[in-house]
């Protein structure tokens, strides 16, 4: 048995020094960015034929949606989706316990109440059974998040929404290009929200998009993102400025071109990594539904079993694996009732009365599945494992095997 890298042994690999192996859209982005700059079409005023018009059309088509509205970021997209559906004071919106705080914060930003529900222990996505339990006469919408590289069970969520007459807004910030029964993430709910922030699969620095096939909702979003200026069909609402720029859209056209080329390969690499985890000791891949027909992601997460490692703490396992592979492994987002970034009840803007403050206080929710995943089970690569040469995927399995063999020594050292 060779000594674990965390205990001074030689690491299995140095992934950080590897060159990216997926297609890049950088050259096209650069060319289109310069063209947009030279043409002087910098903003995204609709109908000017700017890169923003072109990208919005391309992104809608790519996702099989009729319409796409470009928005400042993937937080404002969710807020505008709620506003387009006229969700506001007195309403409740169901969101998963494990997500970036934006998914819930935006609900408070429209003065509604986020209802945090627990997640499925095998996929980390919102648990449809918990959604059903949480529905009240005030529920107006559910926001499933396609967390990391697994999609929420859209069959179950959509059927609950249909049956109960509530809206589904998909938060597809982690799922550009993924498909469920060959339908694109974001295209199945009333509205689908995307982020183009730096860490995402498509990146223009900061940015977002809402897709929908509902013309009336699209009209409302187009007016909402443009200070309430009338949309092409005359809808007018009170709002602010949530517009993107055509310069960002030019960058996104290159990113979309790369995603088209990489999407199937990302899926193949995800399956290869799952195979490695399936065959390694004491770890399991997240459950992959047969309905997840294509999975494109930038993050990779799997589940660790402390008891199979004779009580080795998940935190030590993550550090030991990081030392073996030369890139960081951590856990998932904190459950929202313990997030250092989510405490809306303390913001004066949200202090709309004692009942409202109590309702939005996240500590009132009990989220045991999310808490256990976060503390004890999830191992998430903080480096894009999908960029690995597929021939090197087996090194992940080798590194886990090595940590497993060193489990007693690692436990004693910890």
Ligand X SMILES: Cc1ncc(COP(=O)(O)O)c(C=O)c1O
Q: How far apart are CA 98 and CA 117, in angstroms?
A: 9
Residue 179 near ligand X by CB under 6 A: no
Name the nearest CA neighbour of 314 among 400, 398, 207, 185. 400
Q: Which is nearer to ligand X, 292 or 336 (CB)?
A: 336
Q: Using CB under 6 A, which of 73, 105, 187, 406 touches ligand X?
A: 73
Q: Which is nearer to ligand X, 204 or 316 (CB)?
A: 204
Residue 75 near ligand X by CB under 6 A: yes
Residue 203 near ligand X by CB under 6 A: no
Residue 331 near ligand X by CB under 6 A: no
Q: Using CB under 6 A, which of 170, 171, 219, 257 touches ligand X?
A: 171
In the numeric block, the tokens 């965390």 are attached to 6
Q: Which residues contact 340 (CB under 8 A, 6 or more apart)?
A: 334
Residue 319 near ligand X by CB under 6 A: no
Nearest distance in Å: CB 79, ligand X: 10
Q: Which is nearer to ligand X, 153 or 171 (CB)?
A: 171
Residue 102 near ligand X by CB under 6 A: yes
What Å distances lie between residue 357 and 108, 209, 264, 338, 351, CA to CA?
A: 10, 31, 46, 17, 6
Residue 103 near ligand X by CB under 6 A: yes
Nearest distance in Å: CB 192, ligand X: 12
Residue 208 near ligand X by CB under 6 A: yes
What Å distances lie between residue 218 and 67, 225, 336, CA to CA?
A: 7, 11, 30
Q: What separation, in Å, do the N-terminal and C-terminal C-alpha atoms of the chain show?
A: 19
Nearest distance in Å: CB 324, ligand X: 27
Nearest distance in Å: CB 216, ligand X: 24
Q: How far apart are CA 157 and CA 410, in angstroms?
A: 42
Pairing mode, strands 92-96 and 113-117: parallel
Nearest distance in Å: CB 196, ligand X: 7
User: Phi and psi of 37, rounded to 5°?
Assistant: -60, -50
Q: How far apart are CA 111 and CA 124, in angstroms?
A: 27
Residue 223 near ligand X by CB under 6 A: no
Interior/surface letters 374-396, b for 16+ CB within 10 angstroms, e for the rest: bbbbbbbbebbbbbbeeebbebb
Residue 29 near ligand X by CB under 6 A: no
Contact assessment for residue 171 and residue 145, using Cβ atoms and an 8 Å cutoff: yes
Residue 145 near ligand X by CB under 6 A: yes
Nearest distance in Å: CB 38, ligand X: 28
- 379-398 binders of ligand X (CB under 6 A): none
What Å distances lie between residue 315 and 11, 360, 383, CA to CA?
A: 18, 31, 17
Q: How far apart are CA 60 and CA 98, in angstroms?
A: 28
Residue 126 near ligand X by CB under 6 A: no
Residue 173 near ligand X by CB under 6 A: yes
- 281-300 binders of ligand X (CB under 6 A): none
Q: How far apart are CA 134 and CA 311, in angstroms?
A: 35
Residue 255 near ligand X by CB under 6 A: no
Residue 321 near ligand X by CB under 6 A: no
Residue number of the CB atom closest to ligand X: 74
Q: How many residues bind to ligand X according to rule CB under 6 A? A: 14
> For binding to ligand X (CB under 6 A), which residues are involved?
73-75, 99-100, 102-103, 145, 171, 173-174, 195, 197, 208
């Amino acid at each position: 048995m060779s000594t674990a890298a965390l205990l001074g042994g030689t690491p299995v690999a140095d992934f950080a020094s590897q060159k990216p192996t997926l297609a890049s859209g950088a050259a096209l982005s650069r060319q289109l960015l310069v063209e947009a700059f030279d043409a002087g079409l910098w903003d995204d005023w609709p109908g000017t034929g700017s890169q923003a018009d072109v990208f919005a059309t391309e992104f809608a088509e790519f996702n099989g949606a009729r319409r796409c509205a470009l928005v400042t970021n993937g937080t404002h997209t969710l807020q505008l989706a709620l506003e387009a559906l006229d969700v506001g004071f007195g309403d409740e919106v169901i969101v998963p316990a494990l997500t970036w705080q934006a998914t819930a914060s935006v609900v408070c930003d429209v003065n509604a109440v986020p209802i945090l529900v627990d997640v499925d222990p095998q996929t980390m996505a919102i648990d449809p059974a918990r959604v059903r339990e949480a529905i009240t006469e005030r529920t107006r919408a559910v926001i499933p998040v396609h967390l990391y590289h697994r999609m929420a069970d859209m069959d179950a969520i959509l059927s609950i929404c249909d049956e109960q007459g509530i809206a589904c807004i998909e938060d597809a910030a982690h799922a550009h290009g993924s498909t469920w029964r060959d339908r694109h993430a974001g295209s199945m709910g009333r509205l689908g929200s995307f982020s183009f922030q730096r860490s995402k699969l498509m990146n223009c620095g900061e940015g977002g998009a809402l897709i929908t096939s509902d013309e009336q909702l699209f009209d409302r979003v187009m007016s909402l993102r443009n200070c309430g200026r009338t949309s092409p069909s005359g809808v007018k609402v009170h709002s602010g400025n949530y517009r993107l720029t055509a310069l960002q859209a030019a960058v996104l056209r290159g990113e979309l071109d790369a995603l088209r080329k990489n999407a199937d390969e990302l899926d193949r690499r995800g399956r290869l990594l799952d195979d490695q985890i399936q065959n390694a000791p004491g770890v399991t891949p997240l459950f992959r539904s047969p309905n997840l027909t294509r999975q494109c992601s930038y993050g990779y997460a799997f589940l660790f079993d402390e008891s199979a490692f004779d009580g080795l703490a998940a935190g030590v396992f993550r550090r030991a694996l990081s030392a073996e592979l030369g890139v960081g492994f951590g856990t998932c987002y904190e459950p929202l009732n313990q997030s250092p970034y989510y405490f809306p009840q303390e913001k004066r803007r949200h202090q709309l009365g004692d009942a409202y403050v109590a309702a939005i206080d996240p500590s009132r929710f009990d989220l045991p599945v999310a808490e256990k995943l976060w503390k004890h089970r999830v191992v998430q690569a903080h480096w894009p494992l999908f960029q690995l040469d597929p021939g090197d995927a087996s090194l992940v399995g080798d590194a886990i095997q090595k940590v497993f063999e060193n489990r007693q020594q690692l436990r004693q050292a910890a």
